[in-house]
Amino acid sequence: MGALRRARHPIEAEWIVWLPGLVSGLNVAARAVGEAQDAVFTATPVYPPFLSAPRHAGRPLLTVPLVKGAQRWEWDFAAAEAALLRQKAKLFLLCHPHNPVGRLWDEAELAQLAKLARRHDLIVCSDEIHNGLILSPLHQHRLFATFAPGLAERTITLMAPSKTFNIPGLGAAFAVIPEAGLRQRFRRAMAGIVPQPNLLGMAALEAAFIACDDWQAALLDYLRGNAARVEAAVAQIPGLSMHPVEATYLAWIDARELAAGHGIDDLSRHFEAHGLGLSDGAAFGMSGFVRLNFGTRRALLDEALRRLAAACG
């Protein structure tokens, strides 16, 4: 996992808290940070457990929508600022790179997010599970925590080899928490509930991070080809649009025009009727969109894209 080895600040062994999965980490963070009345802040659309973790922890959820710009999805910093002034939040759940919009937040955006966290005294739980899946050759992943002086002390970084190396079933993930008090609160919230990862998972994690760079490079080449196919296919289909995928193997497809034009009120049911299983945007906090996972073999993807076009005809 290049980003970990390239991290500008070395990670101390004692900062690491082992987890059986990242979703556990999101839920532990929601319980460990702040008091019951403190909101958990995030931006939609987002991976559904970001929206359910605050509820499970009995905390209010505070969201702002990301904005579909002309070239890419973007933060609405003014809206974020206003929301955080309106309601007190203590925890910020950040997805970097972002599932589902496929952005690798750039340096200017990360600097703004770091400022936002400092200004509103937020602890940032940065889910970086997709950090090994950077498709854009122009970009490199950089750990959010390393972005500004003092930021690591207010950051919980969540990582795992499970996405890049397709081993979620082995249940090996971890949190990096440099600040001792925060780490202790996180561990306390886990106590008696969250199991340790298993030995097989740890062996797989070690092998993935140390000995699989060539496999990862080949994977990225393949995924770049898949992303290009999806982007080209979507561009040809009236009623659908998407921005290029910078990272992840997920395409976030805007189907609002299709839905309006064809009177479709349940997009995922519509696509399922055409033999295509897409994730519905509603679960991510943004209706009118669907998420297509293109982390698959090309023949299967080509068939999926054929069905996508047929479902929109």
Ligand X SMILES: Cc1ncc(COP(=O)(O)O)c(C=O)c1O
Token pair belonging to 148: 């500004």
27 binds ligand X (CB under 6 A): no
As a residue count, the chain comes to: 313
127 binds ligand X (CB under 6 A): yes
Query: In this complex, which beta carbon is closest to ligand X, that of residue 155 or of residue 162?
Result: 162
Distance (Å, whole) CA 77 – CA 132: 27
Residue window 156-175: x/- pattern of binding to ligand X, with contact defined by CB under 6 A:
----x-x-----x----x--
Q: How far is the CB of 127 from ligand X (least distance, A)?
A: 5
129 binds ligand X (CB under 6 A): yes
Strand positions, DSSP E, the chain: 16-19, 39-44, 61-65, 67-68, 73-74, 89-95, 123-127, 155-159, 173-176, 250-254, 279-280, 289-293
Cβ atoms within 10 A of the Cβ of 86, count?
10
Residue from 95, 134, 227, 259 binding ligand X (CB under 6 A): 95
For residues 33, 36, 39, 45, the Cα torsion angle rounded to the nearest 10 degrees is 80
Please give the residue whose beta carbon sits closest to ligand X in the complex: 21
Q: How far is the CB of 28 from ligand X (least distance, A)?
A: 11
Distance (Å, whole) CA 311 – CA 313: 6
- Contact status, residue 244 vs residue 231, Cβ threshold 8 Å: yes
Query: In this complex, which beta carbon is closest to ligand X, that of residue 129 or of residue 267?
Result: 129
Of the candidate spans 21-29, 139-147, 178-186, 187-195, the one that interacts with ligand X by CB under 6 A turns out to be 21-29
Residue from 1, 17, 22, 227 binding ligand X (CB under 6 A): 22
Q: How far is the CB of 175 from ligand X (least distance, A)?
A: 11
* Total residues at interface with ligand X (CB under 6 A): 12
Give 299: exposed, middle or buried? Use CB within 10 Å, 0-12, 13-18, 19+.
exposed
Residue ranges in contact with ligand X by CB under 6 A: 21-23, 47, 95, 99, 127, 129, 160, 162, 168, 173
